[in-house]
Amino acid sequence: MTINKIQDTIIDEFSVFDDWMDKYNLLIDMGKDLPVIDPKFKIRDFLIEGCQSKVWLHPEFSGDKIFFRADSDAIITRGIVGLLIRVLSGRTPEEIIAADLYFIDKIGLRQNLSPTRSNGLLSMVRQMKLYAMAYKATGDRQQVKDNFKNPLPGEPAPRKRGVRGG
C-alpha cells in the first residue's frame, strides 16, 4: 500500500469521530498496538530531542528499506509515533524524504496538540527523515547508525555522546 493510501485510511479512521476525546482514545489504542521496542534501544542515542515525553526511535535497515521501531513513556505520544511508523516504516529513503504527511493536518492532530507535543511531533518526523537522508547519502548502514544525529543544514552540531574527560 502506498504512503498516501495509508494516510487516507488513517484519515477515514479518524473521521468516524467528531469529538477530540474520542480521537485521543483512538490514538491511545493505536499506541497500545505498537510493537514493543527491544530495551537495548531505549538508550540516549535513540532518544528524540524536542519531545515533551521520552520517545525512542530506532531505524533498522533491510535492503533498500528502513523499518522503524519506537516507544514512548506517554501513551498519547506512543500513539502518535505509532501513526508515523505506520505511514513511513518499510519504505525507501526516497519515499520517506518525499512524503507529504498531509494526514497530520487532515485529522486535526497538529491543531489539537499542546504546543510542546506539536513540537515533539515535528521532531519525530524530522528524525525519521534524517535517518532516511543519512542512509540515502551514505548507503552505509553502519555509518548511518554511527552518525544518525547529523543536523540539517543551518542547525547546530549535535553534542558528543559517550565522550569522557576534557
3-146, CATH topology level:
Sufe protein. Chain: A (3.90.1010)
pLDDT at 151: 42
Question: What are the domain boundaries of the chain?
Answer: 3-146
pLDDT at 52: 76
pLDDT at 64: 92
Per DSSP, the residues of 97-122 read HH---THHHHTTTGGGS-HHHHHHHH
pLDDT at 143: 52
Q: What is the pLDDT along the chain (166 residues), one digit of tens a residue?
A: 999 999 999 999 999 999 999 999 999 999 998 988 999 999 999 999 877 789 999 999 998 999 999 999 999 999 999 999 999 999 999 999 999 999 999 999 988 888 888 899 999 999 999 999 999 888 755 555 555 444 433 444 444 444 333 3
pLDDT at 36: 85
Burial of 119 (0-12, 13-18, 19+ CB in 10 A): middle
What amino acid positions are annotated as catalytic residues? 51
pLDDT at 159: 44
87 with 11: CB under 8 angstroms? Answer: no
